Every structure is written in structure tokens, then in C-alpha cells.
Amino acid sequence: MSSIVTLTLNPALDISLHVDAVVPNHKIRTDPPRYDPGGGGLNVSRVCRRLGEPTTTVAPVGGPPGQRMLSLLTADKSPDGTADNARIVAIQGDTRQSVTVLGRQSGDEYRFVLPGPTLSPGEIAACLAEVLSAAESCRCLVISGSMPHGVEDDFIEGLVGRLSDCRVIVDTSGSALRAALTSGAYLVKPSARELGSLVEGDLITEADVTLAAHEIMAWANIEVLVVSIGAGGAIAVTPEQTFRLRAPTVQVRSAVGAGDSMVAGIAVGLHRGLDLPRAVALGIASGTAAVLTDGTELCHASDVERLLPLVHMN
């Protein structure tokens, strides 16, 4: 059994396109598309494998987009030729698609996320059974990505309550994020924008983010809150400490997958027995490495290794 398990309830077939410029009312010719298996947990698994840690990934898959995504996932192997163990739940609906368009002239990036499927109670129960089975001997379970239609907000709490001796990391959004904060998970990772939506305020400065994080931790039922602040790095808060980790400055090519790469780095660090600051530092190096690649391409291990010494705590 893998020591890291990921759950992606709303995976996607990611399509990345390059164009000269995005202009209205004109046909826009694109370069050949790039296709990748996507969605939070799948991206986390792919990055973990690039960092040398195989995972077991659980995901519902349906329709032609899902089959193409699954074939890409199976073909996405580590340098030693191994692939992750995939536990796939077949569903009636079609796996969603996500399109990223990069305009070369402006450098602007446009993201179009198509609606995902609605999971039936039986399909949700099958996903739950698979992840519980996969997590029986794991050290870390990562629940990442949006929740599809049909999944109630208390799903994460119910899952965490049935696990023992397994750290749960959650990276989600919306009402599921608020629910995750009272779920008993080990670590939850919102972005600063998502944190602002929880406290219903604009978080302009790092002091604003830190204050909001402490406000959340006052009522949350988790051990660690890690708030990503884009190019700035992250702020982490526990009941005992607060620390700030700064990311190295790099030239951003695409921000797609940066958050998932950060979560993967944290999971790998914790799995390897690093203390929390060093695990978060590995996450920041992984997220920073992801923005060096185009479109939906994820980080490269060589970039992570090069950037990690440049992550500073203060």
C-alpha cells in the first residue's frame, strides 16, 4: 500500500492551448493542444511521484473525457517507469473538462472550467469505500479539488472520522472548505483569497492574512492552517506557533497547478518525517517550480531541488 493516498472527487481532463492573442468576434487559431489528467488530487499524485513518492489515487471517472484522462494518467510514469496505483470508480456522468488558454502577446492566462458530473449516492459510497480501503495503512491522505454536485459538505468530516493513524490534508473551496475546517483534519490549505471569503473581508496585507488565519483557528477543529499567498509564499498557523515562509522570486509562465504542487510537497515532506516548517518549505519550492512551466504542465523535480534552499522562514 502507498503511504500517500489522494482523493479527487471532481477530476478533469485538462486542455492547454497557446494563441497569439485573445480577441473578441474573431476566429482564434491555436497551437496543438496539450492534454493532461487534472483535478486537485490527481495533480498532487503526479507531483508526489515526480518527487520520488508513489501514491494511490482514488477518483470517479466517466464518459469519453474520463477515459482519455485515465489513459493519460496511466501513461504518466515516473523516471523509473512506475505509475501510481489508481483506484477508479466508474460513474454515469462525464468527467469534466478544463481549458487553459495562454495569450503569447499579453502573457495573460484564461481558464475555462466546464461543469462536472453529479455523483449519485451509490457512486459516492463507492468512492468512500475505495478511499477507506486504500487508506488502511497510509500515513497521509490528501483530499484535494472541488466537490462535485451530489457530495454533501459533511463528506470530509465523515471520512476523517473513520480514519485512524493517518494525517488528512484538505485543499478545497467554497462551502466544502468551511466544513473542512471543523472536520478534524490535520491540515487545511486555503489561498489568501479563499481565506478572505471565509472572514468576509479583503485581505490586502500579510498582517491581514495572519489576523484572519488566527481568527479561523480560534474556532476550527484542525491542527494546522497553511495559507498560500501566491508569489509571496505562505503563512502557517498552529495553536502553538505562527511562521512565515517566503518563496523565491521567479519568472511566472503559468500558475496552473501551483497550489496542487504545494500540497504535494507538504505531503511528501510530512511523509518523510520533516518537521512542519521544512515540509511547508518543500511545498513552497514545489509550487514555485510549477509556475516555471507552461500551461497545465506540473513542476520538475530538478527545479524543486534548486529552489528549496531559496525558501526562507521569518
Active site residues: 260
- Cα 258-185-140 angle, rounded to 5 deg: 65
Do strands 140-144 and 4-7 pair parallel, antiparallel, or not at all (unpaired)? parallel
Provide the β-strand partners of residue 6: 57, 142
Task: Give residue 131's identity as a one-letter amino acid code.
Answer: V
Distance CA 100, CA 22 (A): 12
Distance CA 213, CA 39 (A): 26
Considering just the CA atoms, what is the radius of gyration of the chain in Å?
Answer: 19
Closest C-alpha among 36, 41, 59 to residue 4: 41
Distance CA 233, CA 176 (A): 24
